[in-house]
Chain A
Amino acid sequence: MSQADQENVHPVTPVYLGRYLLSHLREYGLLFALIAIMLFFQVMTDGTLLKSVNITNLFLQNSYIIIMALGMLIVIVAGHIDLSVGSVMGFIGAFSAVLIVQWELPVALAIPLCLALGALIGAAQGYWVAYWQIPSFIVTLAGMLIFRGASLWLLEGQSVGPFPKEFQALSTGFIPDFMSPGFRDGLLALFEVRRINAGALVVGVASALVVVWLNLRKRQQNVRYGIEEEPTGFFVARNMIVAGALLFVVFKLATFRGLPNVLVTMAVLTVIYAFITERTTIGRRIYAVGGNEKAAKLSGIKTERLTFLAFTNMGMLAALAGLIFAARLNTATPKAGFAVELDVIAAVFIGGASMAGGVGQIIGAVVGAFIMGVMNNGMSIMGIGIDYQQIIKGLVLLAAVVFDVYNKRKRG
């Protein structure tokens, strides 16, 4: 304790700050990278990137990647990989079109059916990986081929649509303003804008406060345990940046059409999965399985069942992504989800997860997905061809992982 206390009252010299920053490059690196990339494209696109309409688009375009990255992070932390998510996503989109458009099933029934089928597909793949010890690369490569073919077969090579309004709302809907008109008028006058979704703004401010409060609580806990290393200045700056960015984005959204439904879905899922991975026994056990499967097994952990569940969960999230994607396009096409698994996996690795398993965080995967999304979006606005886009994304992925490995080596 006394040693740690001393560190806390350490005179904050520039040398010390520099050393601290160097030893925590990874944590800050991701945040800085996202900010740097956003600023870069903000300049390169003459301010288009951070316009209200484009920020809204960013979320609409990338939500399905982020949702799948949540599941993929768990699969990768458990020491596996899932190559089939793009195909499963496309297949479920096709399946939903058959149910809703062709068979005219009610949306409220079709959605749970689709999610259940996704979970079943994940379970079927997880079964071979978990109980037969077949490498996940092979099982899900097979799954990738199978469900790519299955969507073609299901749609008979055609696009099927359009979907009813309530299904489209899954993706393109916005949360209606729930605040009183008087409050809204006050805000309109205050910010001198033409329109504003007051409810969205309230939610945004509240969540920014919650984030800061959570960080503060975490810091207090660490100080109590004597393990807090982050200098106060860094803590304040980091929270101001995060809260500021959150408020900025919400303000932009609120002055356009409000909070997209997908954004809310995505945010809620992110919070749930962050909680599961960090605070629950099942989360802890998944990290243990990925970190050292033999040790986990000899500690009484049912490693096979966890692997099975990780794939089942991944299948369900891929199904959800498929629904969101189909709802956004308002049609199911055989091409949906093509090569999307690569973006999802890249997002998770950019976010700091380790191929060997046992390492990675939900928030990292989400930020990783945003980095990919901003690059996609920014490069498209700039009119960079798909060829260069792929090359640049590949280089960024390689750079992120090399940076990780370099950091690890330096620490020894």
Chain B
Amino acid sequence: MRIFSKLYIALILSLIYLPMFVLVINSFNQSKYGVKWGGFTTSWYTKLFNNDGLIQAALNSLTVSVIAATAATVIGTLAAVALHRYQFKGKALLSSMVFVAMLTPEIVMAIALLIVFISLGITLGFVSLVIAHITFCLPFVIVAVYARLKEFDMRMLNAAKDLGASELRIFIEIILPLILPAVISGWLLSFTLSLDDVIVSAFVTGPGYEILPLKVYSMVKVGVSPEVNAISTLLLVVSLTIVIISQLLIRKDKTQ
């Protein structure tokens, strides 16, 4: 029975991680087609870093992701605080729309955004990409921060007010330190969502602005090259790092 359960776990883990493992191995495989081990090499990485188009796409992707994640975090945090703290007309509608936005099929959102950009005359490219990425990251930040806010007895905000703190001081001294872990994990989540988004980006970007997921996608169309393995490995490392950071943040927060 013990052996069976261990095998079962091994099977599940291998289903999840074996393809990635093969990909990482192949990125160091000298043999171009990756069926046989042709010896260790880092030449694909060298080639990757010499591929100006790919590097440019990666830099573009990073730029878009950092800007979109940061903007979504700022807007989303303020929105969550407002939803939690203030009473205003349309509050219930707004908070339910957040979930609708999260559950909308990406293809629907992509087409909707495209129509908006075209009708507003926004040139497809960097600006449209950033706006689109902010849009689909926003609900995730709101939900993360809102959930965190709900954990606290917010009567302490009345106490802060009673002790002479203005709304701004209350936000800076009380609310922000308490929700900071959620804000950071909201940013990290937005960053990864933005970095690997294909569907929305494919619709709203223009020919002049290429980003990494789309570039990789177009490269794969003509066959999986070892360079793609190399760049995927790098992306994997970035995602893992982010996951580890956010897990550490959550754990640190729990032990407080």
A is bound by B: no
Give the B-binding residues of A (Cβ under 8 A).
none
B residues neighboring A (CB under 8 Å): none
